[in-house]
A and B are shown apart, each in its own frame.
Chain A
Amino acid sequence: MSETMKKVAIARKIERTNSREFIEALFDDFIEFHGDRYFADDRAIIGGIASFEGRSVTVIGIQKGHDLEENLQCNFGSPNPEGYRKALRLMKQAEKFKRPVITLVNTAGAFCGIGAEERGQGEAIARNLMEMAGLKTPIISIFTGEGGSGGALALAVADTIWMLENGMYSVLSPEGFASILWRDSSRVEEAATLMKMTAKDLIKNHVIDKIIYEAPEGIENNLEFTTDKIKEALRETLPVLSEMPVEELLDKRYQRFRQYGVFSER
């Protein structure tokens, strides 16, 4: 198996630490809030307020389960539009109370279903992209596992983006890439390598800013190894972003996404 596919397999492992466990390990006083106020509460996204070493924060994470029953509840970590709208509601709340937002991204992608289309999956994601780009409070995104396309990006228009060692982020899954572009599902490994979707590839492209390492025995077997590193990074970054004048913060966020593009000019 190629190096990339090994990482993909680790990122997708059912035992892998999920957002609820990360929140438990990283924050105190977490209170979960529910619902988008329009339609429903999407359990694929959990969010609420908490404190990080005395600082109030808003935390939003895409939730995956460790077994079928849990996964049926959280839709295998594939949010519906109401999940993205709940996330946006909590982000606007964070903006009002000047709390930083921390998102934990781990999804194969936004859910593709009839209901999701009826309720405007595209609109929900689009709205988050635009609103996050202008949210007047710091946003930190941490990719903890899979980062599947627009469904991941909808929680990741952030000031700084970190990724766990075995995280990934891509425009579509390597399986999708091989079957759509090459009509050959046997070329998954080749697709995965070509797509440059690992943390090491993405830091070179400046898509992420920091790699957070995992214990060799597996993140779920030694979570503290990783959460200590995340805490250290938060301790360093939160004060810097929180003290930055809003205009400068938004300008830097705009420029961060403005730079993406590979082209030449005649």
Chain B
Amino acid sequence: MNLFGKKTYFSIEGTPEKKRNDKRKKKQEPSIPDGMWIKCNTCKNIIYKKEVSEYKLCPSCGAHFRMSPAERIAVTCDEGTFTELFADLKTENPMDYPEYENIISKAQEKSGIEEAVVTGCGEIGGYKTVLAIMDSHFMMGSMGSVVGEKVTRAVEYATENKLPVIIFTTSGGARMQEGIISLMQMAKTSAAIGRHNEAGLLYVTVLTDPTTGGVTASFAMLGDIILSEPKALIGFAGQRVIQGTIHQKLPEGFQRAEFQLEHGFVDKIVNRLDMKETLETILKLHQK
């Protein structure tokens, strides 16, 4: 029970009025390319970089830009409450895929993180929860041994400590460079969630752009509650694969969050500005 936890308020308009400390501003650098201006892929407008708040929304159309785990933690967890867990796992090369070590180092350089997911423990509105936050900047958030192991350990940790789990998903699917072992991560993570589920604990997934393939077909779709960010691409098969199979044009908005909501696979689409409050309410309503 923590009814009087610290609360962080933010504006519904999403203007960057909240003064965050400088340290945090520095952390958000990697996901926006160098230079003063960026182009929004949704409205195609050229945006002055400084106008993009820590919520990473397009100031002209509200599009949700992709976020790094550090940026996500900054707008989700109560300040200073996040502790990273299982950070010491290091990727190996199970299939002897040529140059895999180099590919990994380059991805680490580009993304500023060690692997495609960050796991840990934090508080949201004073409620303690286990978190896993994936990063599409790291090899498209693909799931190999390390991603599967970190997610599994995080879920097992939550089961042991009777904590909820919140996973922010973004992934192109299985890490093909790790071969069959990457496929097995789907079973491993799902089995861990099964035990967490059996223990009567809460599991929330937040699907962010894009969530596809083996992550969709495992832990992303297993949430007791499945939230999504607006317009996030969510699906099993890639759009090019589907087009190659059926040779017809895909309908407008196919596999977007709104499509998934309409077809019954998402509980609620939540604007990023409201995400923390929504998660906090969900956690509050599951306190025993």
Contact = CB atoms under 8 A, between A and B. Distances in A.
Interface stretch (B11-19, B28-36, B218-226): B218-226
B278 interface: no
Contacts of B214: 149-150, 171
Interface stretch (A41-49, A130-138, A238-246): A130-138
A26 interface: no
A125 to B, nearest CB: 4
A129 B186 contact: yes
A264 B90 contact: yes
Interface in A151-209: 153-154, 157, 169-172, 177, 180-181, 194-197, 202, 205, 207
A165 B213 CA distance: 29
Contacts of A127: 221-222
Contacts of A123: 216, 221, 265
A114 B254 CA distance: 8
Most buried by A among B89, B174, B190, B213: B190
A116 B238 CA distance: 12
B191 A129 contact: yes
A191 B123 CA distance: 45
A112 B92 contact: no
A113 B90 CA distance: 36
Range for the number of chain B residues in contact with chain A: 35 or more
Interface string B178-215: 11111111111011111101100000000000000110
B218 A262 contact: no
Nearest to A129: B190
Contacts of A112: 236-238, 241-242, 245
A248 interface: no
Interface stretch (A10-18, A89-97, A211-219, A252-260): A252-260
A181 B99 CA distance: 12
Contacts of B61: none
Contacts of A110: 217, 236-237
B1 interface: no
B183 A150 contact: yes
B146 A263 contact: yes
Most buried by A among B176, B177, B235: B176
Contact of B217 (A119, A121, A265): A121
Interface residues of A, number: 51
B254 A263 contact: no
Contact of B180 (A125, A180, A202, A265): A202
A126 B220 contact: yes
B94 interface: yes
A228 interface: no
B180 A257 contact: no
Nearest to B92: A262
B271 interface: no
A65 B229 CA distance: 42
A207 B184 contact: yes
A266 interface: yes
A171 B182 contact: yes
27 contacts: A110-B236, A111-B245, A112-B236, A113-B242, A117-B255, A121-B236, A123-B216, A125-B218, A126-B219, A130-B222, A131-B194, A133-B194, A149-B174, A150-B236, A157-B191, A171-B182, A171-B183, A177-B176, A205-B180, A257-B184, A257-B188, A260-B187, A262-B145, A262-B178, A263-B90, A263-B91, A265-B88
Interface of A: 110-114, 116-123, 125-127, 129-131, 133-134, 149-150, 153-154, 157, 169-172, 177, 180-181, 194-197, 202, 205, 207, 253-254, 257-258, 260-266
